[in-house]
Amino acid sequence: MKQLSYYNTLKKFQSLLALLVLCIVLCVLTDKFFTAANGINVLRQVAVNVCIATGMTLIVLTAGIDLSVGSVLALCGAIAAGLLKNGIPLASMDLYIGFTVFGVFVAAILVGAFLGAFNGLVVTKFSVPPFVATLAMLTIARGFTMLYTGGHPISNLGNHFAFIGTGSVIGIPVPVCIAIIVIVIASFITKKTRLGRYIYAIGGNEQAAKLSGININKVKMMVYIIGASLAAVGGVIVTSRLDSAQPNAGISYELDAIAAVVIGGTSLNGGKGTVWGTVIGAVIIGVLNNGLVLLNVSPFWQQVVKGAVILLAVIIDKLGEKKD
């Protein structure tokens, strides 16, 4: 019994222990890692993945997946930049609609929500597997990004917009503030609301959840909308930080998000995991990326190491399920 208790405790804090070990190793290998400036830099980089991975967590908890978040991020970031810089000219009516920074932020989220609703509709109404539905959206959204931008960056977006990605509030980077707000809201949803209970119920046993009266399709629609909306938030942050909407932005971001979710202890089979676990997973990915750069590891080897870490996390998860 005592051995089982030790195992459960270790399993509960395994992500945190992995982060601690990783930080200690990097501190030993390079003196550039444990500095305030580098810490702030890591937090800025992690903030975007935290937003995306938090939405991904809600989707994975229902035993789903969203491969389109990187492309949605790029499209929403491009639309935000385009609306801010060019507005919407209506020549036939001799009218021009301009947008504030807040306005383009809201517009980007609404576009993300629409794309998420489309994903949810395809998954629920047409019974298309989430992997296939979101893979299609990955290509569609990337294509629309290229069409909207003409394949060229949209740059010089102004200091007010740049504040979202590069500014600070009482010494805390704005992207980190946004990520904290996202984490708190998502954690509240999963722990304190009916929607959160339904998400876990569907992931645990969809058939049982359906028989208990839960509207499966409605809940799945909601999580895909939330996931794509948070990808849009990430898109605004990335675009602001670069002062440019890049047509190829967000490539492979879905892999980092899924990695954060898995490393954070959320089961790909659904029904098990937490938002805070995903946050730790995202920090691990961010610290790992930062450490490899500081150690001058080849970008090609960085991909190999990241893939190996993801695979190890999945193996550990599967072994844990067998013991349970």
Domains and CATH numbers, the chain: 34-319 (1.10.3470)
Alpha carbon distance 203, 39 (integer Å):
35
Instruction: Tally Cβ neighbours within 10 Å of residue 183.
Output: 18
Q: Given this model, what pLDDT does residue 288 score?
A: 92
CA distance 39 to 20: 14
pLDDT at 108: 97
Report which residue type is found at 216.
I
- Residue 165's alpha-carbon distances to 39, 200, 290, in angstroms, are 16, 33, 18
Quote the strand ranges of 14-173, DSSP E: 88-90, 95-97, 154-155, 168-169, 172-173
CA distances from 101 to 51, 80, 98, 139, 289 (A): 19, 9, 10, 28, 31
Calpha distance 86→99 (Å, rounded): 9
What confidence score (pLDDT) does residue 18 get?
85
Q: Is 76 helix (H, G, I), strand (E, B) or coil?
A: helix
Pairing label, strands 244-245, 154-155: antiparallel
pLDDT at residue 324, as a whole number: 58
Per run of 10 residues, the mean pLDDT along the chain (length 324 residues) is: 54 80 92 90 94 97 97 97 91 83 97 98 96 97 96 94 94 95 97 96 94 95 98 97 95 92 90 94 93 91 85 75 62
Bridge partners, 97 (sequence order): 88
Per-residue model confidence (pLDDT) at position 168: 94
